[in-house]
Structure 1
């Protein structure tokens, strides 16, 4: 009697002792029915009822034999069992030992072909004894793309699916699995590139021919109009190519002593990595070149060589499209030391934008370096000189102020809203695979990365419809808004007769700079604001002049009036620093640390007392004020708590000479400017530190040091903010003596939310919680990044005009970039459709391809695959067209946006 008294589900045999774990229904079968019902599912796992419980069994033990070379169920007249009957198949549900019969009829194909036609991928072409189902290879490939799991992890999971106890171990076929995966990836890339539909075959594959191309980038011969080279000059920028260069130091390879000859690449140079042998010869020949020191910030990629001990490869360098995050063919090379990148042949395109983190340094001697290289990788000098070099937006704050305008995507014409940060988005997707590729041999690592880059490019292809639609919806709205804002601002300035000539001049300067970058940069600040040192020097000169004229305001032999106030500001700053030093000691400070802080406090106490004695000469009323502060009821015990009673803090009705108040007003204004400069520099430094830490700091030691440096920089940020707030409070107090002063406009209140960098580096600052930030293009930057006007009545309006010019140029640039973005997106949509139409025609032309010597079955397969690929392109075109059906309203909107915004700007508000 079978389990629970049940009979076989097919033949009612009472000995129904078997059930299949893969089939639905959980039915019981007898031995014969189990075998006959699983001839087409021979890799299912079954269980046997032993009278007490179910235990593992196998179809092989029941006598199931796989007959290859014939349709399932057909008997072979000359079957040949596999050697020792120990054929192993790696399947999606585990590792199986099966019985296999090969066919040896007169027309039987070779054994590995029989295995392939059954749906298995053989580990070798010579008497195969191991295979993997095509399903498990496809499953691993997609799984590795999405989860970045390694082959070892996946194989171990398959082993555990078969036996999660380790009691019944199977033969180890891990190395065979690695071979099959690598060959499968290679063959699939050749198949998708149409190499089976070309008379040249596999051996005729050209460099980069197996790469998946970006449909939105300009591809001459595929998606550009026939007359694109002769189009009007005003349209030529629409056909420019945006390239982004970057290096990734996470994709390193350990020096495991495996040479390229022992582990060569399959299809070397056919996809994204350049051909290895000539590339390595190039590096060997020019490895002694020394990069010039940076004239900008201390960029790691230029000035430093990263640790390469124990590494065969320190990372990869790449060239991708800067607008669509796709890798370009033959654009990746292994790095041996620093960032050394190969040239790419782009002679046909007329206009190219190159985005690079250190573009300000990299392009300077580019032609000189190129002329030293072999002729095969050289480009026309005029072509390189025509390249436009810019720095990605997120990396720009780490550069000096000159670079932040000279190399900005925001301020360069005809680039739309490109940010240049596409490599960083791509690296974030590929970096998890570094854990497994770092231990691979050189060839298998390059093949694995090529496969992942290809998958990334393909995902960009079929999601391009939704991506471009989302972008253009945003661009049209932002274009209208920022065009309106610019025209309102422009008309508001021109409404003042004395300003119209200045606006016309700014417009001419902006146009001249866009044509020639050697012209004065209209986005740069040209009038420097007064610093504390400059004002102190000016006051000293005034004191000397007054002394020579016999009008000196000096009541103390050691301090003039200006020196008294200046030293008072210094003491105030020292009080703030001492307070911060004391708070930073913590509970576990050493005796040495505590002693140093106490010594600083004693010295500061003595200096304040000495200065206070001189202060009595100039402000006698402070004597009474200090007596009140030193009343027994008060508890002032620390040096930073001692009041200084500068002119701004003397309350009424206590008198103070207006000359002292005027001196402090000038010094405080300069102090506020200086504090903002310090704040901006500290925020720029912090941005760079966050970028450097995020990209390069790995391990506890490096992260701890990086965090320590960031904390010290954060202290500078807080100190500069406190300095500005203190100066503003003093200015507010003194403003009552200056009727008509615009101090509130010139010195806005500094809120905590205002203390932020130009770019969203603060997303990673607090507890890992990210918040959405808005870029320069949407103009939500803090007011601290705008240059303030001067409140000094002795200065003319040069500072104000300087501020207005910069803001006018930035407002103009924002409006233009969004307008350009709309036009670029429309052109990219057209290119995408044309690209897939061209691909569809190419695949349709391959439908009737027949290779010499091929049989009818092969010809049918070749034709079917070509038709399938052509149909896929046609479906993508239809899907995108339906998705973009409403694009006419966007085109109409963008074409009339200028007229509407001007009309709206002229209406009374």
Structure 2
């Protein structure tokens, strides 16, 4: 067939993915282009770009591309040709071809139709008017139960209002469905473009139809393993998100009881507009106007970790205390200096500088002198002798020289030297240093988060972006240094711990533990799979960051949560204590008691009152609460949707096998053995698919879903299962609370 043959038409004649060519061209003649209808203009920057592209491209071309409609599994349902870019009338035709396959003349249904489109914020406004055309008879009733969303990646190119009206994360009964899957289709189509570009209309359509059929068949044979993966993932992430939300909910209920009560009564579907600009508001959006505008981070330099040590561990009376305490303390500070110098050397290698190299040499000499002086003043003569031997043999670099504090010595040597008093001193000092390091990490992480937010919001242009990125990387590197300080102190505590001492209650820390989702900005891609770091209260009910050893004997602990000074002060006013209670509480305190602290530094504008700061903090917690709840609900819905899809997959394969069996036994096929053999081959294939799907479903533990009572709907079964999940969760929660109570007793 020559591609220049004008008489060549599609062999499918509208019975595949493309509509009949003559009918489609007649529809286009009776429908005005989108620009003439007056709905193409939009306030969204994303749509402005699309409209400008349509004006500049595709001149003198009969067909400029295609628009396709697919289901959530990216099975292609329909495709139509484009003439002058992507116009709404072309999209209407593709939507009609997809709807009429399953919804034609079906006026009632218990299923909603979720329509995802890149520019739904403008498209759906006049969709009912478009469907008044006689062409859309038979599917017009579908609009009454249609909901509209914008794919997660594309919605970030729209105005912020769109994400709260059309974002998938905040739509009930949608599951975790980002709707970007259809973009996979264009990978293959783009490779075909070089071939179809020179074809005539009929041959081009047949080529695309064959491609769509191959694409859909590969989706079919891979559907079972894909459903197994998605169902397992949805279940696991639901449990993770549920635990995260329960911890957040418990913390908010403790810190902000009045606000929490209001949040629980808030309508999750409420959206409204405020101000002259008619900005859309919803429970998931940060209300900037509440505290008189956006608050900004305090740009003052936070004290370094060493300054905190000097303020907490080195009071004015320290000089008058025994020399061993001062010697241990100075050794801890020297360790910090070693890590700082190592960090500085590493940074200089990334960004070479002659001035920085000279500064490093000077600092190295100073550190070496301080270490030598520290060893000479050692309270244990043996340690000073060991140091002299080390320097006489190797002369290591100051930043790599090992400081022989008690924590650096093996337990047998410590026992032989008889330095139990020094061990206890270092343990106490290390414990204080570890808590100070945590406080510093909280402050540094808040600074990094604020710098990242301001960079994305305000910095434009290569020069400013490059400079701000370098500053952000430096801030992150400083945060990592603080984390190394903490991990070193923690490791030393583990080595120094005696049999009568409680374990340090915090685990090893990584940079991921300092991550926190941004409350003041719109939801970012990937948030549904991320958790806030452990230092921000992401803990299970009744737990610290790490569970103590079962054999440990603990003093009674009142679990409190991170909060501001204001909220903690208000919470303490609710409980009245007698003098006797106060004395008992004071006597029961131990050094190992977990002290509550606010984990997220206030983003304060100069001149803001404490009440405004508190309102800003509560607003951030409110947004985080609703977003965490939405993420949990979407993963629960996703879990249940995948159960329903698995059942539908099994039913579909059974129905295919039954249909082919009927075709094989038709009287007219008895005299055509080839037809009968082909039909029976299909029966065997679909029966094996159904058997495999049923076996995988049972192995996942959903046998009861297959053994439903006659007449029981899938949604009724899922609601009953949801009640069982809640009961099981409550049972495990009660068991955990009982274990914690017994441990405290």
Aligned length: 453
Secondary structure, aligned partner of 1:388: strand
Asked whether 1:351 is paired with 2:112, we answer yes
Residue 261 (structure 2) pairs with residue 504 (structure 1) = yes
Q: Residues of 2 paired with 1:789 and 1:289: CA distance?
A: 46
Partner of 2:25: 280
Contact 1:790 1:800 in 2 (8 A): no
What is aligned with 1:869? 682
Of 277, 282, 285, which residue of structure 2 is paired with 1:524? 285
TM-score (norm 2): 0.53
Question: In structure 1, which of residues 680, 695, 711 is the aligned counterpart of residue 456 of structure 2?
Answer: 680
Pick aligned residue for 1:360 from 100, 121, 134: 121
Give SS of 2:153's match: coil
Q: How many Å apart are 1:304 and its aligned residue? A: 3.4
1:774 to partner: Cα distance: 7.7
Looking at both structures, which has the greater relative contact order when contacts are Cα pairs under 8 Å and sequence separation is at least 6?
Answer: 2
- d(CA) in 2 for partners of 1:757 and 1:715? 25
- Give me the whole-angstrom Cα distance separating, in 2, the residues matched to 1:288 and 1:885: 53
User: What residue is the counterpart of 2:202 in the other structure?
Assistant: 443
Cα deviation for residue 789 of structure 1 reads 4.4
Alignment pair present for 1:845 and 2:662: yes
**Structure 1 residue 829 corresponds to structure 2 residue 578:** no
User: Offset of 1:905 from its aligned partner?
Assistant: 5.5
Hey, what's the Cα distance between the residues in 2 that align with 1:534 and 1:486? 27
Q: Does the CA contact (< 8 Å) of 2:670 and 2:676 recur in 1?
A: no
Supply the distance in 2 between the matched residues of 1:534 and 1:866 (Cα, whole angstroms). 70
Cα offset, 1:257, TM superposition: 7.2
Structure showing greater Rg: 1
Q: What residue is the counterpart of 2:375 in the other structure? A: none
C-alpha distance in structure 2 between counterparts of 1:890 and 1:469, whole Å: 14
- In structure 1, the partner of 2:182 is 423
Q: 2:696 aligns with which of 876, 880, 883?
A: 883
Answer yes or no: is the 8 Å Cα contact 1:480–1:897 preserved in 2. no
Deviation track 1:42-75 (CA, whole Å, cap 9, x = no partner) reads xxxxxxxxxxxxxxxxxxxxxxxxxxxxxxxxxx
Q: Distance in 2 between matches of 1:756 and 1:437?
A: 46
Q: Distance in 2 between matches of 1:872 and 1:719?
A: 61
For 2:209 and 2:664, the matched residues in 1 are separated by 28
Which protein is richer in strand relative to its size? 1
Deviation by residue 1:820-872 (Cα, 9 ceiling, x = unmatched): 11111110010011111111111111113344xx993xx22222222221221
In 2 relative to 1, CA 531–516 (structure 1 residues): closer, same or farther, beyond 3 Å? closer
Higher relative helix content: 2
SS in 2 for 1:394: helix
Compared CA separation, residues 421 and 714, structure 1 to 2 (3 A): farther
2:63 maps to 313
Q: How far apart, in 1, do the equivalents of 2:670 and 2:728 lie?
A: 67
- Please list, as runs of the form range in 1=range in 2, the aligned pairs for 1:536-547 lying within 5 A after superposition: none
Provide the secondary structure at the position in 2 that maps to 1:424. Answer: helix
Partner of 2:527: 776
SS of residue in 1 equivalent to 2:156: helix
What pairs with 1:691-710 in structure 2 (closer than 5 Å)? none
C-alpha distance in structure 1 between counterparts of 2:663 and 2:632, whole Å: 47
Measure, in 1, the Cα distance between the counterparts of 2:201 and 2:271. Answer: 46
Distance 1:727-1:781 versus aligned 2 partners, 3 A rule? closer
Q: Are residues 715 and 400 of structure 1, via their aligned partners in 2, closer, same or farther at CA, if it must alter by over 3 Å?
A: farther
- 1: CA distance, partners of 2:188 / 2:602: 42
Q: Distance in 2 between matches of 1:507 and 1:394?
A: 30
- 1:688-767 aligned within 5 A: 713-719=461-467
Pick aligned residue for 2:143 from 377, 384, 390: 384
SS in 1 for 2:66: strand
Task: Give yes or no for the alignment of 1:456 onto 2:215.
Answer: yes
Q: CA deviation at 1:525?
A: 1.3
Please list, as runs of the form range in 1=range in 2, the aligned pairs for 1:461-610 lying within 5 A after superposition. 461-496=220-255, 499-513=256-270, 520-528=281-289
Aligned equivalent of 2:86: 338
RMSD: 4.6
Gaps of 5+ in 1: 1-174, 179-255, 536-582, 584-670, 684-711, 730-748, 759-772
SS in 2 for 1:509: coil
Mapped pair 1:325 → 2:74: yes
Write the deviation string for residues 216-257 of structure 1: whole angstroms up to 9, x where unpaired.
Answer: xxxxxxxxxxxxxxxxxxxxxxxxxxxxxxxxxxxxxxxx87
1:774 and 1:780 in contact (8 A); partners too: no
SS class of match (1:316): strand
TM-score calculated relative to the size of structure 1:
0.44
Mapped contact 1:513–1:519 kept (Cα < 8 A): no
Distance in 2 (CA, whole Å) between partners of 1:798 and 1:720 is 29
When residues 520 and 788 of structure 1 are mapped into structure 2, their CA distance, relative to the original with a 3 A threshold, is same
CA contact (8 A) 2:248 2:625 kept: yes
SS of the residue corresponding to residue 69 of structure 2 reads: strand
Change over 3 Å in CA distance of 1:802–1:834 after alignment to 2: same
Could you list the per-position Cα deviations for residues 676-714 of structure 1 after superposition, in whole angstroms to 9, with x for gaps in the alignment? 66533469xxxxxxxxxxxxxxxxxxxxxxxxxxxx755
Deviation at 1:312, TM superposition (A): 2.5
Shift of 1:895: 6.4
1:511 to partner: Cα distance:
3.5
Separation in structure 2 between the aligned mates of residue 891 and residue 801 of structure 1, nearest angstrom: 44
Residue pair 2:76, 2:216 contacting (<8 A) in 1 also: yes
Structure 1 residue 296 and structure 2 residue 112: aligned?
no
Q: Comparing 284-293 with 802-811, which one deviates more in the overlay?
A: 284-293
**Residues 532, 901 of structure 1: alpha-carbon distance in 2 compared, 3 angstrom cutoff:** closer
**In the alignment, which residue of structure 1 is the partner of 2:10?**
265
